[in-house]
Structure 1
């Protein structure tokens, strides 16, 4: 666990690093998908209109969470691959939980480690669905 982790509101100066975190994390994690079509600017369109909070270790972005605020929907939570399993995802969730009365997210079925992580943080699978990327769990937290 990183004790000196800070959470900051997104600003444009974080853009290059967050693009790289988003790309590299998806390439490493989404082993069931063809990730060759992923690119750096995916971040820009995939977080458009969302509230983004950035995890900083010694001033360097190491992860982020983005939320579609009208629905309290966690659209993205990504941590730089070299910082995985150091408590950054937990800190990001702990930061946003008190700010929303209810949170929800989708977790792809093949992503078993992410599902286990979210469940360990109090999220409950309400249903399972299919979309263009495959099957996913719809999870909720809160009321």
Structure 2
């Protein structure tokens, strides 16, 4: 597995991965309005690293660097439980002394993953998508 900084050549695959992963993960939300172009606006201004297995884009992490905030960590459904999320998280931990993120309270698999990586729940809040936890490392 390689972890590389974002390159424009990755854009089509990342758009597909982002759309497919959100639809698979957020089963409690109405995802009918999600579009491929959501990726572009949702990661604007963020530092992005991409996990590559063979010739496949297997996942990505995007970080809003002014706050060391993990805005997105997605793994392609075909590569779940293959260490992709762990490798991306290891990179983030190595580059940033502190990290924080929001995780939807309904997303139990993600909450379990983040807690296994050492994140702790700091607070609970709600936004237009529903209830979430703020986690920090």
| TM-score between both structures, scaled by the size of structure 2 | 0.98
**Correspondence for 1:124 among 120, 123, 127:** 120
Match of 1:43 in 2: 39
Q: Give, in angstroms, the shift of residue 81 of structure 1.
A: 0.6
Instruction: Give, in whole Å, the separation in 2 of the partners of 1:73 and 1:100.
Output: 10
Q: Give, in angstroms, the shift of residue 60 of structure 1.
A: 2.5
Runs of 4+ with deviation above 3 angstroms:
none
Structure 2, unaligned runs of 5 or more = none
Question: Structure 1 residue 81 and structure 2 residue 65: aligned?
Answer: no
Alignment of 1:42-61 (within 5 A): 42-61=38-57
Q: Give, in angstroms, the shift of residue 96 of structure 1.
A: 1.1
Q: What is the RMSD computed on CA atoms of the aligned residues?
A: 0.6
* Aligned residue-pair number: 137
Provide the secondary structure at the position in 2 that maps to 1:45: helix
**Correspondence for 2:7 among 4, 8, 11:** 11
Structure 1, unaligned runs of 5 or more = none
**Correspondence for 1:23 among 10, 16, 19:** 19
| TM-score between both structures, scaled by the size of structure 1 | 0.94
Instruction: Give, in whole Å, the separation in 2 of the partners of 1:47 and 1:17.
Output: 14
